Structure 1
Amino acid sequence: MGSATLEEKSLKALFKAVIGRFLQMTTLYIPMTPLMRVKIQRIRGVCIGENVFLGTDVYLDLVHPDMITIEDNVAISGRNTIITHSCPPYHFKENHPRVGSIFSKVSPVTIKKGAWITVGVVILPGVTIGENAIVTAGSVVTKNIPANCIAQGNPAEVVYELK
């Protein structure tokens, strides 16, 4: 017996979610140009500025794509994940009453102008990546990254300020 819950509360929301999931899977598994990936993500509801590069295998939150903002001149390399919500499975909530209140979160993600998200970065809910910031490969971003700096690690920490 599974513990998943349906997040969509109306038939219209469910239909929109099914289409959104189909579009997300299209961008992941069908070869296409970065511009085509940007256009499809805009259809899903992701707010994307001008001159944005979306690499291959970029996974953007399925449930709340409208809570992701990617400003102008941003480059997001391949194999990245951007999540705007987290909700522990039901059995954790039952066995650990505090888990739901601690780990459940729905919060927007913003990537500011000129930022570069390199390969394999995971961005968690509620994070803002500052203007012209660089997040290095394999980092897990759990808190805001200021403008004009390089961040790396798990959790991502600022390692260098750009002048």
Structure 2
Amino acid sequence: MKSNDYLYRKIRSSMGTAKLEEQDFASLIRAIVGRFFQMFASYLPMTPSMRVKCQRIRGVNIGENVFVGFEVYMDPVHPQMITIEDDVAISGRNSILVHTSPPSYFRESHPRMSKLFAKTSPVTIKRGAWIAIDVVILPGVTIGENSIVTAGSVVSKDIPPNCIARGNPAEVVLRLDK
């Protein structure tokens, strides 16, 4: 145990301006293994169903009949806070984040403002949603059932069901009839 504590402290002290989110050695090891599966799913040629399996192994909650494209980055620290319901399509080169943490120099020089930017909150993508290419989904967002988020959008707030959203920040541009 002592060597694990020493190793954990050593890693924590070598983070530079980043914050080590894992609170103990065991969670650090789980995170390292999870990052391996994340890289495996993102960059190696494989079927979309294999990508889904890799993300499930990491702890992402994924329903049935889900498509995950190439280079989809899902939060490395808290994958269990991501829920993707049935019949969702996530195109390539997307990012789904459930946590943000300012760098240490910002935390130290602006402690009150730093708290505004530090956030950990779940992301849910509801049944039948389609996330087009190069979309960034920020912490605390729910994408509504049967909604579409167009290419290059940054989703910083909830998207209601049955609509098309686009832009930075993503805004609803069209309501879809059922």
Q: What is the root-mean-square deviation of aligned Cα atoms in Å?
A: 0.9
Distance in structure 2 (CA, Å) of the matches to 1:103 and 1:10:
24
Matched, 1:13 2:24: no
Matched, 1:152 2:176: no
1:5 deviates by 2.3
* Consecutive unaligned residues in structure 1, runs of 5 or more: none
TM-score by length of 2: 0.90
Is the CA contact 1:35–1:54 (under 8 Å) kept in the aligned structure 2? yes
Q: Partner of 1:42: helix, strand, or coil?
A: helix
Count of aligned residue pairs for this structure pair: 163
Distance in structure 2 (CA, Å) of the matches to 1:150 and 1:140:
13
Query: Larger Cα Rg: Structure 1 or Structure 2?
Result: 2
Distance in structure 2 (CA, Å) of the matches to 1:143 and 1:159:
14
Of 112, 117, 120, 1:106 maps to 120
Residue 41 of structure 1 aligns with which residue?
55
1:98 deviates by 2.1
Q: Which runs of 4+ in 1 moved over 2 A?
A: none
* Consecutive unaligned residues in structure 2, runs of 5 or more: 1-13
Distance in structure 1 (CA, Å) of the matches to 2:55 and 2:18:
25
Matched, 1:22 2:22: no
Residue 50 of structure 1 aligns with which residue?
64
Matched, 1:121 2:135: yes
Q: Which sits farther off after the overlay, 25-34 or 77-86?
A: 25-34
Residue 146 of structure 2 aligns with which residue?
132
TM-score by length of 1: 0.98
Is the CA contact 2:19–2:101 (under 8 Å) kept in the aligned structure 1? no
Is the CA contact 1:88–1:99 (under 8 Å) kept in the aligned structure 2? no
Is the CA contact 2:126–2:145 (under 8 Å) kept in the aligned structure 1? yes
